[in-house]
Chain A
Protein backbone atom coordinates (compact mmCIF):
# COMPACT_ATOMS: atom_id res chain seq x y z
CA UNK A 1 0.00 0.00 0.00
CA UNK A 2 1.28 3.44 -0.91
CA UNK A 3 1.81 6.04 1.73
CA UNK A 4 0.10 9.39 1.54
CA UNK A 5 2.33 12.30 0.79
CA UNK A 6 1.19 15.88 1.26
CA UNK A 7 -0.85 17.00 -1.70
CA UNK A 8 -1.31 13.49 -3.05
CA UNK A 9 -4.59 12.74 -4.76
CA UNK A 10 -5.95 9.23 -5.18
CA UNK A 11 -9.06 7.95 -6.88
CA UNK A 12 -11.16 4.89 -6.21
CA UNK A 13 -14.53 3.48 -7.15
CA UNK A 14 -17.15 3.53 -4.40
CA UNK A 15 -18.17 -0.10 -3.88
CA UNK A 16 -21.91 0.58 -3.58
CA UNK A 17 -22.58 3.21 -6.19
CA UNK A 18 -19.70 2.65 -8.52
CA UNK A 19 -18.99 6.39 -8.51
CA UNK A 20 -15.47 7.58 -8.92
CA UNK A 21 -14.29 9.25 -5.71
CA UNK A 22 -11.14 11.26 -5.39
CA UNK A 23 -9.39 12.00 -2.12
CA UNK A 24 -6.62 14.48 -1.36
CA UNK A 25 -4.07 14.06 1.41
CA UNK A 26 -4.33 17.51 2.96
CA UNK A 27 -2.94 17.10 6.45
CA UNK A 28 0.31 15.20 6.98
CA UNK A 29 0.76 13.22 10.18
CA UNK A 30 2.94 15.80 11.96
CA UNK A 31 0.31 18.48 11.44
CA UNK A 32 -2.57 16.29 12.60
CA UNK A 33 -0.66 15.12 15.64
CA UNK A 34 0.34 18.66 16.65
CA UNK A 35 -3.17 19.93 15.97
CA UNK A 36 -4.77 17.55 18.44
CA UNK A 37 -2.17 17.67 21.18
CA UNK A 38 -1.98 21.42 20.87
CA UNK A 39 -5.74 21.86 21.07
CA UNK A 40 -5.89 19.84 24.29
CA UNK A 41 -2.98 21.87 25.68
CA UNK A 42 -4.63 25.14 24.71
CA UNK A 43 -7.85 24.15 26.45
CA UNK A 44 -5.97 23.25 29.61
CA UNK A 45 -3.84 26.40 29.47
CA UNK A 46 -6.89 28.64 29.08
CA UNK A 47 -8.82 26.95 31.88
CA UNK A 48 -5.89 26.90 34.30
CA UNK A 49 -4.91 30.41 33.21
CA UNK A 50 -8.35 31.68 34.14
CA UNK A 51 -7.95 30.10 37.57
CA UNK A 52 -4.59 31.80 37.97
CA UNK A 53 -6.20 35.06 36.91
CA UNK A 54 -8.89 34.68 39.56
CA UNK A 55 -6.23 34.92 42.27
CA UNK A 56 -6.08 38.61 41.33
CA UNK A 57 -8.80 39.30 38.77
CA UNK A 58 -7.65 42.83 38.02
CA UNK A 59 -5.18 44.74 35.90
CA UNK A 60 -5.05 47.68 38.27
CA UNK A 61 -3.32 48.13 41.61
CA UNK A 62 -3.63 45.64 44.45
CA UNK A 63 -4.46 48.40 46.91
CA UNK A 64 -7.23 49.38 46.40
CA UNK A 65 -8.26 46.37 44.32
CA UNK A 66 -10.91 46.73 41.63
CA UNK A 67 -11.87 43.42 40.11
CA UNK A 68 -12.01 43.29 36.33
CA UNK A 69 -14.17 40.21 36.00
CA UNK A 70 -15.16 37.01 37.74
CA UNK A 71 -14.76 33.75 35.91
CA UNK A 72 -17.14 30.98 37.02
CA UNK A 73 -15.30 28.20 38.81
CA UNK A 74 -16.71 25.63 36.40
CA UNK A 75 -14.74 27.19 33.53
CA UNK A 76 -11.46 26.95 35.39
CA UNK A 77 -9.01 24.17 36.06
CA UNK A 78 -6.76 23.44 39.00
CA UNK A 79 -9.09 24.16 41.90
CA UNK A 80 -6.74 26.62 43.59
CA UNK A 81 -3.93 28.91 42.50
CA UNK A 82 -1.17 26.38 43.23
CA UNK A 83 -2.99 23.60 41.41
CA UNK A 84 -3.71 25.83 38.41
CA UNK A 85 -0.05 26.86 38.24
CA UNK A 86 0.95 23.19 38.15
CA UNK A 87 -1.32 22.57 35.17
CA UNK A 88 -0.12 25.75 33.46
CA UNK A 89 3.57 25.07 34.06
CA UNK A 90 3.20 21.49 32.80
CA UNK A 91 1.13 22.05 29.68
CA UNK A 92 2.99 25.11 28.55
CA UNK A 93 5.85 22.79 27.60
CA UNK A 94 3.58 20.48 25.63
CA UNK A 95 2.07 23.54 23.95
CA UNK A 96 5.49 24.96 23.11
CA UNK A 97 6.81 21.59 21.91
CA UNK A 98 3.91 20.93 19.56
CA UNK A 99 4.10 24.54 18.42
CA UNK A 100 7.75 24.16 17.51
CA UNK A 101 7.17 20.86 15.69
CA UNK A 102 4.18 22.38 13.86
CA UNK A 103 6.14 25.42 12.70
CA UNK A 104 9.28 23.39 12.02
CA UNK A 105 7.42 20.87 9.91
CA UNK A 106 5.69 23.57 7.89
CA UNK A 107 8.93 25.37 7.14
CA UNK A 108 11.09 22.32 6.43
CA UNK A 109 8.54 20.47 4.30
CA UNK A 110 7.31 23.49 2.39
CA UNK A 111 3.82 22.58 3.50
CA UNK A 112 3.41 26.14 4.80
CA UNK A 113 2.49 27.18 1.28
CA UNK A 114 -0.87 25.50 1.77
CA UNK A 115 -1.81 27.69 4.71
CA UNK A 116 0.50 30.72 4.98
CA UNK A 117 -1.24 34.00 4.20
CA UNK A 118 0.72 36.11 1.73
CA UNK A 119 -0.04 39.50 0.13
CA UNK A 120 -1.19 37.59 -2.95
CA UNK A 121 -4.12 36.27 -0.93
CA UNK A 122 -5.25 39.76 0.00
CA UNK A 123 -7.68 40.33 -2.90
CA UNK A 124 -9.45 37.08 -2.07
CA UNK A 125 -10.22 37.97 1.54
CA UNK A 126 -13.13 40.33 0.97
CA UNK A 127 -15.10 38.02 -1.37
CA UNK A 128 -14.89 35.28 1.28
CA UNK A 129 -15.98 37.66 4.05
CA UNK A 130 -18.87 38.80 1.83
CA UNK A 131 -19.82 35.20 1.25
CA UNK A 132 -19.68 34.12 4.89
CA UNK A 133 -21.21 37.15 6.55
CA UNK A 134 -23.18 39.08 3.93
CA UNK A 135 -24.75 36.34 1.80
CA UNK A 136 -22.40 37.11 -1.08
CA UNK A 137 -21.78 34.74 -3.97
CA UNK A 138 -19.46 31.88 -3.08
CA UNK A 139 -16.04 32.42 -4.66
CA UNK A 140 -14.63 29.54 -6.68
CA UNK A 141 -12.65 27.14 -4.54
CA UNK A 142 -9.25 26.62 -6.11
CA UNK A 143 -7.06 25.63 -3.18
CA UNK A 144 -7.33 23.58 0.01
CA UNK A 145 -7.37 26.84 2.00
CA UNK A 146 -9.19 29.96 0.87
CA UNK A 147 -7.63 33.41 1.47
CA UNK A 148 -9.74 34.13 4.56
CA UNK A 149 -8.85 30.75 6.03
CA UNK A 150 -5.18 31.40 5.40
CA UNK A 151 -5.53 34.75 7.12
CA UNK A 152 -7.26 33.15 10.11
CA UNK A 153 -4.76 30.30 10.53
CA UNK A 154 -1.76 32.52 9.95
CA UNK A 155 -2.94 35.08 12.50
CA UNK A 156 -3.81 32.36 14.99
CA UNK A 157 -0.26 31.04 14.64
CA UNK A 158 1.20 34.49 15.21
CA UNK A 159 -1.06 34.99 18.24
CA UNK A 160 0.00 31.54 19.46
CA UNK A 161 3.64 32.62 19.32
CA UNK A 162 2.70 35.80 21.17
CA UNK A 163 0.99 33.75 23.86
CA UNK A 164 4.31 32.03 24.53
CA UNK A 165 6.32 35.26 24.47
CA UNK A 166 3.96 37.15 26.79
CA UNK A 167 3.83 34.09 29.05
CA UNK A 168 7.62 33.94 29.17
CA UNK A 169 7.69 37.55 30.35
CA UNK A 170 5.11 36.83 33.05
CA UNK A 171 7.06 33.81 34.23
CA UNK A 172 10.55 35.30 34.09
CA UNK A 173 10.30 39.08 33.65
CA UNK A 174 13.85 39.57 34.94
CA UNK A 175 15.60 37.07 32.67
CA UNK A 176 13.53 38.21 29.68
CA UNK A 177 13.77 41.85 30.67
CA UNK A 178 14.37 43.02 27.09
CA UNK A 179 11.19 41.33 25.93
CA UNK A 180 9.42 42.70 29.00
CA UNK A 181 10.45 46.22 28.08
CA UNK A 182 9.10 45.70 24.55
CA UNK A 183 5.76 44.81 26.07
CA UNK A 184 5.73 47.77 28.43
CA UNK A 185 6.93 45.86 31.48
CA UNK A 186 5.57 43.03 33.58
CA UNK A 187 2.31 44.79 34.32
CA UNK A 188 1.44 45.27 30.66
CA UNK A 189 2.66 41.79 29.71
CA UNK A 190 -0.11 40.49 31.95
CA UNK A 191 -2.63 42.53 29.97
CA UNK A 192 -1.22 41.28 26.65
CA UNK A 193 -1.17 37.69 27.85
CA UNK A 194 -4.86 37.99 28.71
CA UNK A 195 -5.69 39.72 25.41
CA UNK A 196 -3.81 37.06 23.47
CA UNK A 197 -5.80 34.39 25.33
CA UNK A 198 -9.03 36.14 24.31
CA UNK A 199 -7.80 36.19 20.70
CA UNK A 200 -7.08 32.47 20.76
CA UNK A 201 -10.45 31.69 22.32
CA UNK A 202 -12.17 33.76 19.62
CA UNK A 203 -10.23 31.87 16.97
CA UNK A 204 -11.19 28.51 18.46
CA UNK A 205 -14.86 29.48 18.61
CA UNK A 206 -14.82 30.63 14.98
CA UNK A 207 -12.87 27.55 13.98
CA UNK A 208 -15.35 25.22 15.69
CA UNK A 209 -18.32 26.94 14.04
CA UNK A 210 -16.70 26.55 10.62
CA UNK A 211 -15.84 22.92 11.30
CA UNK A 212 -19.45 22.19 12.20
CA UNK A 213 -20.72 24.04 9.14
CA UNK A 214 -18.38 22.16 6.83
CA UNK A 215 -19.45 18.74 7.92
CA UNK A 216 -18.07 15.32 8.64
CA UNK A 217 -15.91 14.79 5.57
CA UNK A 218 -13.97 17.96 6.32
CA UNK A 219 -13.64 17.09 10.03
CA UNK A 220 -12.37 13.59 9.27
CA UNK A 221 -9.57 15.04 7.16
CA UNK A 222 -7.89 16.29 10.37
CA UNK A 223 -8.03 12.72 11.70
CA UNK A 224 -6.97 10.69 8.67
CA UNK A 225 -5.37 13.39 6.57
CA UNK A 226 -7.59 12.51 3.59
CA UNK A 227 -10.44 14.60 2.28
CA UNK A 228 -12.88 12.98 -0.11
CA UNK A 229 -13.93 14.89 -3.23
CA UNK A 230 -12.58 18.27 -2.17
CA UNK A 231 -14.15 21.16 -4.08
CA UNK A 232 -10.90 22.42 -5.53
CA UNK A 233 -10.44 19.27 -7.58
CA UNK A 234 -12.09 19.93 -10.95
Chain B
Protein backbone atom coordinates (compact mmCIF):
# COMPACT_ATOMS: atom_id res chain seq x y z
CA UNK B 1 0.00 0.00 0.00
CA UNK B 2 1.32 3.39 -0.96
CA UNK B 3 1.08 6.43 1.21
CA UNK B 4 -2.24 8.25 1.17
CA UNK B 5 -2.02 11.98 0.48
CA UNK B 6 -1.10 14.21 3.36
CA UNK B 7 -4.05 16.28 4.57
CA UNK B 8 -7.07 17.37 2.53
CA UNK B 9 -9.99 15.36 1.33
CA UNK B 10 -8.85 12.79 -1.24
CA UNK B 11 -11.62 13.39 -3.74
CA UNK B 12 -10.91 17.08 -3.85
CA UNK B 13 -7.75 16.64 -5.81
CA UNK B 14 -5.91 13.69 -7.15
CA UNK B 15 -2.74 15.62 -7.71
CA UNK B 16 -0.25 12.89 -6.97
CA UNK B 17 0.04 9.26 -7.87
CA UNK B 18 -1.09 7.79 -4.60
CA UNK B 19 -3.45 5.03 -3.74
CA UNK B 20 -5.10 3.71 -0.64
CA UNK B 21 -4.28 0.10 -1.13
CA UNK B 22 -3.03 -2.42 -3.58
CA UNK B 23 -4.91 -5.56 -4.41
CA UNK B 24 -5.53 -8.05 -7.20
CA UNK B 25 -8.23 -8.19 -9.81
CA UNK B 26 -10.25 -10.93 -8.09
CA UNK B 27 -10.36 -8.88 -4.96
CA UNK B 28 -11.53 -5.82 -6.87
CA UNK B 29 -14.24 -7.81 -8.62
CA UNK B 30 -15.46 -9.14 -5.28
CA UNK B 31 -15.48 -5.61 -3.92
CA UNK B 32 -17.48 -4.33 -6.91
CA UNK B 33 -19.95 -7.20 -6.72
CA UNK B 34 -20.54 -6.60 -3.05
CA UNK B 35 -21.15 -2.91 -3.73
CA UNK B 36 -23.62 -3.81 -6.44
CA UNK B 37 -25.46 -6.33 -4.26
CA UNK B 38 -25.98 -3.68 -1.61
CA UNK B 39 -28.20 -1.92 -4.12
CA UNK B 40 -30.64 -4.83 -4.40
CA UNK B 41 -33.25 -3.20 -2.12
CA UNK B 42 -33.89 -0.87 -5.06
CA UNK B 43 -35.73 -3.71 -6.81
CA UNK B 44 -38.37 -3.52 -4.07
CA UNK B 45 -39.80 -0.66 -6.12
CA UNK B 46 -40.70 -3.44 -8.56
CA UNK B 47 -43.48 -4.44 -6.15
CA UNK B 48 -45.47 -1.70 -7.86
CA UNK B 49 -45.35 -3.74 -11.06
CA UNK B 50 -47.33 -6.57 -9.43
CA UNK B 51 -51.02 -5.68 -9.83
CA UNK B 52 -52.27 -7.05 -6.51
CA UNK B 53 -49.49 -5.47 -4.49
CA UNK B 54 -49.72 -2.27 -6.48
CA UNK B 55 -53.32 -1.51 -5.62
CA UNK B 56 -52.78 -1.95 -1.92
CA UNK B 57 -49.50 0.01 -1.98
CA UNK B 58 -51.05 2.92 -3.84
CA UNK B 59 -53.98 2.89 -1.43
CA UNK B 60 -51.51 3.10 1.46
CA UNK B 61 -49.60 5.88 -0.29
CA UNK B 62 -52.76 7.90 -0.72
CA UNK B 63 -53.77 7.22 2.88
CA UNK B 64 -50.34 8.42 4.02
CA UNK B 65 -50.76 11.65 2.03
CA UNK B 66 -54.16 12.13 3.63
CA UNK B 67 -52.71 11.52 7.06
CA UNK B 68 -49.88 14.00 6.48
CA UNK B 69 -52.25 16.58 5.07
CA UNK B 70 -54.58 16.19 8.07
CA UNK B 71 -51.57 16.65 10.39
CA UNK B 72 -50.62 20.01 8.96
CA UNK B 73 -54.20 21.22 8.74
CA UNK B 74 -54.44 24.16 11.14
CA UNK B 75 -57.87 24.88 12.54
CA UNK B 76 -57.00 28.54 13.11
CA UNK B 77 -55.42 29.15 9.71
CA UNK B 78 -57.74 30.90 7.27
CA UNK B 79 -57.78 30.29 3.56
CA UNK B 80 -56.86 33.47 1.66
CA UNK B 81 -59.76 35.75 0.77
CA UNK B 82 -59.79 38.05 -2.22
CA UNK B 83 -61.12 41.48 -3.16
CA UNK B 84 -64.26 41.65 -5.32
CA UNK B 85 -62.11 42.75 -8.25
CA UNK B 86 -60.49 39.33 -8.42
CA UNK B 87 -63.76 37.40 -8.50
CA UNK B 88 -64.31 35.06 -11.42
CA UNK B 89 -67.53 36.22 -13.10
CA UNK B 90 -70.43 33.94 -12.20
CA UNK B 91 -70.91 33.12 -15.89
CA UNK B 92 -67.37 31.71 -15.93
CA UNK B 93 -67.82 29.71 -12.75
CA UNK B 94 -67.81 26.11 -14.02
CA UNK B 95 -70.77 23.88 -13.34
CA UNK B 96 -69.37 20.49 -12.42
CA UNK B 97 -72.18 18.09 -11.74
CA UNK B 98 -71.76 14.42 -11.43
CA UNK B 99 -74.89 13.34 -13.26
CA UNK B 100 -77.54 16.02 -13.70
CA UNK B 101 -77.32 19.80 -13.71
CA UNK B 102 -80.65 20.01 -11.94
CA UNK B 103 -82.01 17.20 -9.75
CA UNK B 104 -85.35 19.11 -9.71
CA UNK B 105 -85.64 19.69 -6.00
CA UNK B 106 -88.98 21.13 -4.89
CA UNK B 107 -87.49 24.21 -3.23
CA UNK B 108 -90.74 24.98 -1.41
CA UNK B 109 -90.83 21.78 0.62
CA UNK B 110 -87.06 21.26 0.93
CA UNK B 111 -85.60 20.48 4.35
CA UNK B 112 -82.25 19.27 5.59
CA UNK B 113 -82.66 16.03 7.51
CA UNK B 114 -80.29 15.86 10.45
CA UNK B 115 -79.48 12.64 12.28
CA UNK B 116 -76.74 10.83 14.20
CA UNK B 117 -74.79 12.15 17.14
CA UNK B 118 -76.98 15.22 17.67
CA UNK B 119 -79.26 16.28 20.50
CA UNK B 120 -81.94 17.71 18.19
CA UNK B 121 -82.31 15.50 15.13
CA UNK B 122 -85.04 16.24 12.61
CA UNK B 123 -85.78 18.33 9.58
CA UNK B 124 -84.42 21.86 9.32
CA UNK B 125 -85.77 24.47 6.93
CA UNK B 126 -83.73 26.88 4.86
CA UNK B 127 -85.15 29.73 6.98
CA UNK B 128 -83.66 28.17 10.10
CA UNK B 129 -80.27 27.93 8.45
CA UNK B 130 -80.57 31.49 7.14
CA UNK B 131 -81.39 32.59 10.67
CA UNK B 132 -77.82 31.79 11.72
CA UNK B 133 -75.15 34.52 11.41
CA UNK B 134 -74.44 35.03 7.74
CA UNK B 135 -70.91 34.87 6.39
CA UNK B 136 -69.90 36.20 2.98
CA UNK B 137 -66.45 35.41 1.68
CA UNK B 138 -64.51 35.52 -1.57
CA UNK B 139 -62.50 32.33 -1.61
CA UNK B 140 -60.71 30.15 -4.10
CA UNK B 141 -62.45 27.02 -5.28
CA UNK B 142 -59.91 24.50 -6.59
CA UNK B 143 -60.96 21.50 -8.62
CA UNK B 144 -59.04 18.25 -8.49
CA UNK B 145 -58.80 18.55 -12.28
CA UNK B 146 -56.50 21.51 -11.80
CA UNK B 147 -58.59 24.57 -12.54
CA UNK B 148 -59.45 27.17 -9.95
CA UNK B 149 -61.85 30.07 -9.63
CA UNK B 150 -62.43 32.75 -7.03
CA UNK B 151 -66.07 32.83 -6.05
CA UNK B 152 -68.22 34.79 -3.64
CA UNK B 153 -70.01 32.48 -1.26
CA UNK B 154 -72.57 33.31 1.39
CA UNK B 155 -74.08 31.12 4.05
CA UNK B 156 -74.03 29.91 7.62
CA UNK B 157 -70.99 28.46 9.33
CA UNK B 158 -71.26 24.70 9.61
CA UNK B 159 -70.01 25.08 13.18
CA UNK B 160 -72.97 27.36 14.03
CA UNK B 161 -75.41 24.88 12.54
CA UNK B 162 -73.80 22.04 14.49
CA UNK B 163 -74.37 24.07 17.64
CA UNK B 164 -78.00 24.62 16.62
CA UNK B 165 -78.63 20.91 16.26
CA UNK B 166 -76.62 20.06 19.36
CA UNK B 167 -74.01 17.94 17.57
CA UNK B 168 -71.47 16.02 19.57
CA UNK B 169 -68.27 17.79 18.57
CA UNK B 170 -66.25 14.72 19.55
CA UNK B 171 -67.83 12.82 16.69
CA UNK B 172 -65.38 12.27 13.87
CA UNK B 173 -67.33 12.93 10.69
CA UNK B 174 -70.20 14.65 8.98
CA UNK B 175 -71.88 12.65 6.27
CA UNK B 176 -73.94 14.43 3.61
CA UNK B 177 -76.37 13.07 1.08
CA UNK B 178 -77.58 15.00 -1.93
CA UNK B 179 -80.65 15.10 -4.16
CA UNK B 180 -78.63 13.85 -7.11
CA UNK B 181 -77.41 10.77 -5.19
CA UNK B 182 -74.01 12.36 -4.66
CA UNK B 183 -72.71 11.88 -1.15
CA UNK B 184 -69.79 13.28 0.76
CA UNK B 185 -68.04 13.07 4.11
CA UNK B 186 -66.21 15.70 6.08
CA UNK B 187 -63.87 15.42 9.05
CA UNK B 188 -65.01 17.28 12.17
CA UNK B 189 -61.92 19.55 12.31
CA UNK B 190 -62.66 20.95 8.87
CA UNK B 191 -66.39 21.20 9.62
CA UNK B 192 -65.56 23.38 12.64
CA UNK B 193 -63.31 25.68 10.57
CA UNK B 194 -64.81 29.19 10.56
CA UNK B 195 -64.73 29.38 6.75
CA UNK B 196 -66.60 26.10 6.22
CA UNK B 197 -70.09 27.08 5.12
CA UNK B 198 -73.54 25.69 4.54
CA UNK B 199 -73.81 27.88 1.48
CA UNK B 200 -77.12 29.23 0.16
CA UNK B 201 -75.82 32.22 -1.78
CA UNK B 202 -73.31 32.76 -4.54
CA UNK B 203 -72.45 36.28 -5.67
CA UNK B 204 -75.05 37.61 -3.21
CA UNK B 205 -77.87 35.80 -5.03
CA UNK B 206 -79.70 32.68 -3.89
CA UNK B 207 -78.00 29.57 -5.28
CA UNK B 208 -79.08 28.77 -8.80
CA UNK B 209 -80.20 25.24 -9.56
CA UNK B 210 -76.95 24.61 -11.43
CA UNK B 211 -74.85 25.59 -8.43
CA UNK B 212 -76.68 23.39 -5.97
CA UNK B 213 -79.90 25.12 -4.87
CA UNK B 214 -81.05 25.42 -2.24
CA UNK B 215 -78.04 24.42 -0.12
CA UNK B 216 -74.48 23.32 -0.82
CA UNK B 217 -71.18 23.17 0.99
CA UNK B 218 -68.46 25.74 0.49
CA UNK B 219 -65.17 24.56 1.92
CA UNK B 220 -62.21 26.84 1.16
CA UNK B 221 -59.85 24.44 2.93
CA UNK B 222 -60.89 21.43 0.85
CA UNK B 223 -60.59 20.31 -2.75
CA UNK B 224 -63.64 21.15 -4.87
CA UNK B 225 -65.41 17.79 -4.95
CA UNK B 226 -65.89 17.94 -1.18
CA UNK B 227 -68.16 20.98 -1.62
CA UNK B 228 -71.26 18.92 -2.36
CA UNK B 229 -74.35 20.51 -3.91
CA UNK B 230 -78.12 19.86 -3.46
CA UNK B 231 -77.73 18.78 0.17
CA UNK B 232 -80.66 16.82 1.56
CA UNK B 233 -79.34 15.21 4.73
CA UNK B 234 -76.58 15.48 7.27
CA UNK B 235 -75.54 12.77 9.69
CA UNK B 236 -73.02 13.34 12.48
CA UNK B 237 -71.22 10.06 12.93
CA UNK B 238 -68.13 8.20 14.07
CA UNK B 239 -68.20 5.59 11.34
CA UNK B 240 -68.49 6.03 7.63
CA UNK B 241 -70.03 3.29 5.54
CA UNK B 242 -69.20 5.34 2.48
CA UNK B 243 -66.61 8.12 2.24
CA UNK B 244 -67.91 10.02 -0.75
CA UNK B 245 -68.84 9.61 -4.37
CA UNK B 246 -65.34 10.23 -5.73
CA UNK B 247 -63.51 8.98 -2.66
CA UNK B 248 -65.09 5.54 -3.01
CA UNK B 249 -63.67 5.37 -6.52
CA UNK B 250 -60.15 5.99 -5.34
CA UNK B 251 -59.80 9.72 -4.80
CA UNK B 252 -58.36 11.16 -1.62
CA UNK B 253 -60.88 11.28 1.22
CA UNK B 254 -59.24 14.03 3.28
CA UNK B 255 -57.85 16.24 0.51
CA UNK B 256 -57.32 19.35 2.57
CA UNK B 257 -55.92 22.35 0.78
Spell out A's residues near B (CB within 8 Å): 1-2, 4-15, 21-24, 26, 29, 32-33, 36-37, 40, 44, 52-53, 55-56, 58, 61-65, 81-83, 85-87, 89-94, 110-111, 113-114, 142-144, 171-175, 177, 180-181, 186-187, 190, 220, 223-226, 232-234
B34 — which chain A residues lie within 8 A by C-beta?
Answer: 1
Contact in complex: B77, A175 (CB < 8 Å):
yes
**Contacting A175 at CB < 8 Å: which of B23, B61, B73, B250?**
B73
Asked if B257 lies at the interface with its beta carbon under 8 angstroms from chain A, I say: yes
Asked if B240 lies at the interface with its beta carbon under 8 angstroms from chain A, I say: no
Tell me whether A90 and B143 are in contact in the complex, defined as CB-CB below 8 angstroms, given that A224-B32, A226-B31 are known contacts: no
B23 — which chain A residues lie within 8 A by C-beta?
Answer: 10-12
Chain B interface, DSSP helix/strand/loop, else mixed:
mixed
| A-B pairs with beta carbons under 8 Å apart, 23 shown | A7-B10, A8-B20, A11-B2, A21-B25, A23-B28, A32-B35, A44-B48, A85-B62, A86-B58, A86-B62, A90-B61, A92-B65, A110-B9, A111-B11, A114-B11, A142-B13, A143-B11, A172-B257, A175-B72, A186-B140, A224-B36, A234-B16, A234-B17
**Contacting A172 at CB < 8 Å: which of B48, B69, B249?**
B69
Contact in complex: A225, B35 (CB < 8 Å):
yes
Chain A interface, DSSP helix/strand/loop, else mixed:
mixed
Contact in complex: A12, B24 (CB < 8 Å):
yes
- With A and B bound together, what is the CA distance between A53 and B85 in angstroms? 28
Q: What residue of chain A has the Cβ atom nearest to residue B22's Cβ?
A: A11
- With A and B bound together, what is the CA distance between A177 and B62 in angstroms? 22
Contact in complex: B31, A83 (CB < 8 Å):
no
- With A and B bound together, what is the CA distance between A110 and B57 in angstroms? 35
